[in-house]
Amino acid sequence: MKFGYFDDLNREYVITQPDTPLPWINYLGCEAYFGIISNTAGGYSFYRDARLRRLTRYRYNNVPLDCGGRYIYLRDDESKQFWSPSWQPTRTEVKDYSCRHGMGYSVIGSVSNGIAAHTRYFVPMGENLEIWQLTVTNHRAAKASISAFANIEFCLWDAQDDGTNFQRNFNTGEVEVEDGVIYHKTEYRERRNHFAYFACSRPTAGFDTQRESFLGRNRGWDKPAAVEAGQLTNSIAHGWSPIGAHQVKLELEPGETQQIVFVLGYHENSVDQKFDPAGSQIINKSTVKPVIAKYLDAVEADAAFERLRLYWESLLGIFQVNTPDIHTNRMVNIWNAYQCMATFNMSRSASFFESGIGRGLGFRDSNQDLLGFVHMVPTRARERILDLASTQLPTGGAYHQYQPLTKRGNNDIGGGFNDDPHWLIVGVSAYLKETGDWSILDEPVPYDNEPGSEKPLYDHLQRSFAYTLSRLGPHGLPLIGRADWNDCLNLNCFSDTPGQSFQTTTNKEGNVAESVFIAGLFVLSGQEIAAIAKHRGLESEATGYLAEVAKMEEAVNQYGWDGEWFLRAYDDFGAKIGSKECDEGKIFIESNGFCTLAGIGLEDGKAAKALAAVGTHLATKHGIVLQQPAYSKYYLNLGEISSYPPGYKENAGIFCHVNPWVMIGETRLGHGDQAHDYYSRINPSAREEIGDLHRCEPYVYAQMIAGKDAPTFGEAKNSWLTGTAAWNYYAIVQWILGIRTALDGLQIAPVIPKNWPGFTATRTFRGVVYKIAIERRGEGSHIALTVDGAPIEGNVVLPPTDGRKLVTVKGILS
């Protein structure tokens, strides 16, 4: 069952019924000011940091599920009936409901009793504000008198504190109302030099800033007393719960359309110019007023929307493909790239499943996110790399997370996830391949943000690699530390106390438990740093890396191979994990996916065997599960992985993040059909028809789909913020379509399904547009390339040396 449809031409997903299985969300903003918005206008906004600068309040895990938002009420002032064009929060029945989620905007509306209304929400480029354009049309035969109400609830900035510290917070709330603009200035009197505002383009018939005055006692957002009465009360909040509500009266002739613009924004004043007059406690509004005035103008708002549209057109235009598969096209050309922007911006902080409070930017996560993002805005990728590397510890290890606002490593979560440092090499390598900007390696970057400790970024990569060499276990495999990619495989934890964190509790020395996954990652990152060293003319250093890589491969072959697949790990007792000898958890996806992706066992048949075993034991119609059999009980020596009920999350769920590793492994074996089949099983667009089972948005990936052991097999959870976005993008674009960035140029090596006659693509790479056409003439993956009509050797297209900006590439597959 579907709940809407793709409008590919407009790059929108159109939701046609409001009661989707879960709130289906979109993101507003892609620079510094952000919001999440559901298909019924739920959600919240924040400036840079979803925890420390939250503008509006949202109630996670409330009932109804999606509570708090950018709400509009319309009231027929004759019949006194009122409703919400976005369905929530009144949930009055409406006609022709639709929500168009597009690139950085959403348009939500419906028709009720002959009154059509829709609101377009978006954040203009370069501004710290959001625009709501409410358009109301009277389709009745008679004149209509309508009151429009717009409402938000302010959050007291620190979302954690806002939800816990009521004894203080019920006293601190303060607002100002001036010229019809509501200013939220809680704590502005003391150490904050920022405030929020909510403005309206029309003269208002009233406002409210105190929640209780607006809602009335014992009422919810579905039935605000002031809306019911048709008159806001001009309340001023003193403590309790500041809100922003405006009322505008519309007189609409038959067929007439009117528009109201609302602007919600964040503004900072310099510390010495906070107040006007100086010495008073009144906000100095001189710098914000022009911004407000500008965007309340509908012409300016439309122009800002057009700039946003063009921005996305140019970002997405960097890579466009036309294949025989509509789901591939749609995800690659539109939604998967778009999701990569969201994961780059948010890491894992703010979504319907991530509260914006708990998690900063992950070291591992953010480095991986670069794989799907770096081609869009390389300058921002560069900045992110330098931020990440600045939190690296002198040992080469890493804080697992850092806070975006302070850019400091997060001590609560600490470090010791022994895979972390290698992702920096992977991220930097992706950046170099995309941009050819070698200067980044010479950037001075501190360790642990300590002034004076700066070393060139390249030094950070060297330490990342060396980190593992001084942390090898009894079999010469990398020690796992707190965990590796699988945060929940906690082999040194041994926690038997409820509530203890699996990620930070350590009861073992950690000198025994080893990870075959990290071994695979080490082999990959070793190849990458060797190539980088070589390019820098450091031949013997490069040879040294490759020697370590060879040693590691040897250790994997000797101690990491179970006969038919790669082992997962050794536990603290030196016992195997992910072996046929185990009762449960006999085979895992991570080591098999990553070792083959890294090229281990391609020659001696191990890779082919391992992936065949993955196909037999782990692949399901809804994707590939993490391991089998699922753990049926809690294992003290394994940790959180066995804490989840079978089939969910890390305990044999379909973790969509790692499925692409197997896809890439399959392409390395030349198995285009298999790779694309796995790709399609978790492709959200291809799952649109089973929306009532899948339940999450059909336009973005979810972290997890319940595995075959779960009672809800096939049900997705945790959409949007997941490494799944970058890895799937990377797998389909760079390995299946095979348009791959390389240090010296653009490599073209498609491994596509046999029944595809070919495909065409456009790629802007280092300032040059490549028009690529691939034609299949045989069943294999051998490619013969001509560049601007001339055949070339090999499969790497070197950048033109004569200043050409357009290059035509033809590839014949046989």
For residue 274, give the DSSP letter. Answer: -
Q: Which two tokens stand for residue 147?
A: 């009151």
Helix (H, G, I), strand (E, B) or coil at 205: coil
Q: How far is the CB of 792 from ligand GLC (least distance, A)?
A: 39
Using the contact rule CB under 6 A, the part of the chain among 164-172, 286-294, 481-489, 565-573 near ligand GLC is 481-489
Nearer to ligand GLC, 722 or 734 (CB): 722
Percent composition of the chain: helix, strand, coil (DSSP 3-state, to 5) = 30, 30, 45
Q: How far is CA 170 from CA 159, 185, 211, in A?
A: 14, 14, 12
Annotate 313-361 with DSSP letters as a single string: HHHHHTEEEE-S-HHHHHIIIIIHHHHHHHHHHHTTSBSSSSBSSS--E
Q: How far is the CB of 278 from ligand GLC (least distance, A)?
A: 47
Residue nearest to ligand GLC (CB): 487
**CB neighbour list of residue 280: distance below 8 Å, 6 or more residues apart:** none
Check if the beta carbon of residue 98 is closer than 8 Å to that of residue 16. yes
Going by DSSP bridges, is the β-strand pair 806-813/768-776 parallel, antiparallel, or unpaired?
Answer: parallel
Q: How far is the CB of 347 from ligand GLC (least distance, A)?
A: 8
Residues within window 351-390 making contact with ligand GLC, judged by CB under 6 A? 362, 364-365
Using the contact rule CB under 6 A, the part of the chain among 171-179, 479-487, 512-520, 601-609 near ligand GLC is 479-487
Taking CB under 6 A as the criterion, the residue among 703, 719, 734, 781 binding ligand GLC is 703
- Half-sphere exposure of 391 toward its Cβ, with a 13 Å CA cutoff? 30
Question: Rule CB under 6 A: is residue 495 a binding residue for ligand GLC?
Answer: no
Nearer to ligand GLC, 343 or 747 (CB): 343
Helix (H, G, I), strand (E, B) or coil at 618: coil
Nearer to ligand GLC, 172 or 507 (CB): 507
Question: Rule CB under 6 A: is residue 135 a binding residue for ligand GLC?
Answer: no
Going by DSSP bridges, is the β-strand pair 144-157/746-748 parallel, antiparallel, or unpaired?
Answer: unpaired
Question: Rule CB under 6 A: is residue 486 a binding residue for ligand GLC?
Answer: yes
Taking CB under 6 A as the criterion, the residue among 147, 169, 468, 503 binding ligand GLC is 503
**Number of shown-chain residues binding ligand GLC (CB under 6 A):** 16
Q: Can 77 be counted among the known catalytic residues?
A: no
Question: Rule CB under 6 A: is residue 112 a binding residue for ligand GLC?
Answer: no
Residues counted in the chain: 814
For helices 606-617 and 659-668, give the axis angle rounded to 10 degrees: 140
The phi and psi torsions of 399 (rounded to 5 degrees) equal -65, 140
Question: Rule CB under 6 A: is residue 487 a binding residue for ligand GLC?
Answer: yes
* β-bridge mates for residue 759, sequence order: 774
Q: How far is the CB of 66 from ligand GLC (least distance, A)?
A: 23
* β-bridge mates for residue 117, sequence order: 110, 136
Taking CB under 6 A as the criterion, the residue among 348, 687, 694, 740 binding ligand GLC is 348
Check if the beta carbon of residue 74 is closer than 8 Å to that of residue 82. yes
Measured from the Cβ of residue 433, the count of other Cβ atoms closer than 10 Å reads 23
Residues within window 234-253 making contact with ligand GLC, judged by CB under 6 A? none
Annotate 382-423 with DSSP letters as a single string: HHHHHHHHHTB-TTS-BBSEE-TTT--B-TTT-B-BTTHHHH
Taking CB under 6 A as the criterion, the residue among 57, 118, 649, 694 binding ligand GLC is 649
Q: How far is the CB of 275 from ligand GLC (least distance, A)?
A: 42
Nearer to ligand GLC, 51 or 267 (CB): 51
Residues within window 17-56 making contact with ligand GLC, judged by CB under 6 A? none
Q: How far is the CB of 513 from ligand GLC (least distance, A)?
A: 16
Question: Rule CB under 6 A: is residue 650 a binding residue for ligand GLC?
Answer: yes
Nearer to ligand GLC, 435 or 659 (CB): 659
702-705, strands of its sheet edge to edge: 654-655, 702-705, 716-719
Nearer to ligand GLC, 323 or 367 (CB): 367
Q: Which two tokens stand for residue 780?
A: 């294999």
Catalytic residue selected from 487, 562, 571, 709: 487
Q: How far is the CB of 650 from ligand GLC (least distance, A)?
A: 5
Question: Rule CB under 6 A: is residue 727 a binding residue for ligand GLC?
Answer: no
Using the contact rule CB under 6 A, the part of the chain among 189-197, 289-297, 349-357, 485-493 near ligand GLC is 485-493
Nearer to ligand GLC, 514 or 548 (CB): 514
Taking CB under 6 A as the criterion, the residue among 201, 722, 741, 781 binding ligand GLC is 722
The residue ranges that bind ligand GLC (CB under 6 A) are: 348, 362, 364-365, 485-488, 503, 640, 649-650, 657, 703, 722-723
Task: Show which residues are catalytic.
Answer: 487
